[in-house]
Amino acid sequence: MKFVIIFLIAILSVPVIIFISLTIWAMRIVIDIFFKINISTAREESPEIEGEKIKFASKDGIPITGYFVYGKENKGETIIFCHEVGAGWGSWHKYAYFLPPAGYNVLTFDFRGHGNSGNKNGYSPNQWVTNFEMYDIAGAMDYLRTRSDVDMNKIGLLGISRGSGIGICAAKKTGLIKAIVADSCFATSETLNDYITKWVSIFLPIKKIPLFLNRFLTGISLFCAQLILKERLPSIGKALRKMNDVPVFFIHGEKDNYISVHQAKRLYEMARSPKLFWVIPKARHNESVLIEPIEYKNKVTEFFKKYI
């Protein structure tokens, strides 16, 4: 009888061992994918503009540099520009050149590890939103409070790619941002989820990964990645679900081959009203302003006029 029990336990444990082994194997693949995903762009420079070079300290003391652009007939309404990975403060002109003539100040700066801004602890900026970018945004808010030409009750944010995720998390954390334009936005967990669906099944003996396994791999991989990176990765999805009364205007290219328009729609669905969603045909990642420059200008300006 004892032999039968041991035999049954051994037989029943085989599927468990196989599942654990496959999970560990898949998790290693997912983490490898996580670190190899690269959604960044080359640094862009800004033409000469009416404004001033600025410098302030991030919440953890890192020196941050950038520019404060004066809005025409300044009424204190100010837009924080959050650049994508690699681009730097100068890329504001590509996406937001029309805001100062419309009366908005623009605060644009290099996140840590970019341009002349500082860095520490060997941090290498990547496409994921981390606690370090939250420190930079917090420092930007403190800086704006020191300016007499800024109305802290009229702050908006325009974020590009990773910058839009930073803006959403900052809005949830600070409660000071009144409206957000999120161009080519993506969330860490949602992106991993998509990549798992696309790639991991290639390495596993199944046609489609079950939803529960996908979520499990996403969760455990994010946990392990944070341990490896020694950085906290805020959840854009959670921030959207918990953010009250902050309008978000999602802009996304239909041909985005980095972040699918389906993910953008899922993020839009997570957000609370009021919210807007605009898909630009033929536009790839961050190309909406190039494909539809006039409509981009008009829609973004109208959005800020309505909600700030």
Task: Say what the pLDDT of residue 282 is.
Answer: 92
Looking at the predicted structure, is the pLDDT value of residue 192 above 90? Answer: no
Looking at the predicted structure, is the pLDDT value of residue 199 above 70? Answer: no
Looking at the predicted structure, is the pLDDT value of residue 44 above 80? Answer: no
Mean pLDDT on 90-96? 96
Residue 22, Cα to own-chain centre: how many angstroms? 31
The token duo for 102 is 């419309």
Tens digits of residue pLDDT in 226-270: 777 777 888 999 999 988 889 999 999 999 988 889 999 999 999
Closest CA to 56 of 129, 93, 111, 97: 111
Task: Say what the pLDDT of residue 203 is.
Answer: 57
Cα–Cα dist 227/130, whole Å:
13
| Alpha-carbon distance values, 238 to 85, 109, 160, 235, 251 (Å) | 22, 26, 19, 5, 20
Q: What is the mean pLDDT of the chain?
A: 85
Using 50, 70 and 90 to split pLDDT, how confident is the model at 201? low
Q: Where are the domains of the chain?
A: 2-36+190-225, 51-187+235-307
Residue showing tokens 């020694």 = 230
Q: Which fold has domain 51-187+235-307?
A: Rossmann fold (3.40.50)
Looking at the predicted structure, is the pLDDT value of residue 10 above 50? Answer: no
Closest CA to 23 of 298, 242, 217, 228: 217
Looking at the predicted structure, is the pLDDT value of residue 153 above 80? Answer: yes
What is the pTM for the complete model shown?
0.86
Main-chain phi, psi angles of 196, to 5 degrees: -65, -45
